Structure formats: C-alpha cells, structure tokens
Amino acid sequence: MPNVCVTAFANGKIKTIEVDEWPDLDYIQKAVGGLFAEVPTSFCMEFDKSWEDEAGRQETVVYCNEAAALKGLRVNKTSIANAINQELDQPLLGNLLVVSGSPAFMALQD
C-alpha cells in the first residue's frame, strides 16, 4: 500500500505525495497553517484499482489546525473533510493533513 501525505486544502483542492518517512512537526504545521491537533476519526483512505497491487483500504491519521475556529478559517469542503465531518459534531475548518500507509509505516507515528 502507498504511504502518502494528503493535504486537503480549505479551497477544495487536494495534493497527494508519496512519502518514505512520517512527516515531521514542521511539515504538519506548514500543511495545516499552525499548531495542530489530531482529529479523532475512523476515516480510512481507499485506493482504487488504478493503484494496482497497492489498492485497498488503509489506516489514517488526520491533522487539523487546532485554532481554526479562533482564526476564523473557513469550512473545508473537500470530499475527505465531508467524509470525516459525518462523524463529528462540528465541521472541520482550514487545511487538513491526512497521513496514510502500511501498518509498518503507521507505526512510525510519534
């Protein structure tokens, strides 16, 4: 399965990069625009058949800007945020960083 960092921008755009190492604190802060918090979610990434032998569902960790409401950030309208918002009391604001990968990769999270 691919190890990826997916930035879901509040403006609706999504950027995906494959990675070999867990993102460091600076990378996460830059992606979400400041101090961050982990979003409690059961959301999992799903990779379709275009990923060939890497297709399937895999565990994720989702980060958001912890002060998004105080900063007046807008609701994230990406499909990823919409899926996660179904589990939450309030919608996600600002940019999100979704980190997803193999079980060995996910074990690298600090």
How much is the pLDDT for 110?
Answer: 65
Distance CA 16, CA 62 (A): 14
Sheet holding 96-100, edge to edge: 14-18, 4-8, 96-100, 60-65, 36-38
Predicted structure pTM score: 0.90
pLDDT tens string 34-91: 999 999 999 988 877 776 676 677 899 999 999 999 999 999 999 999 999 999 999 9
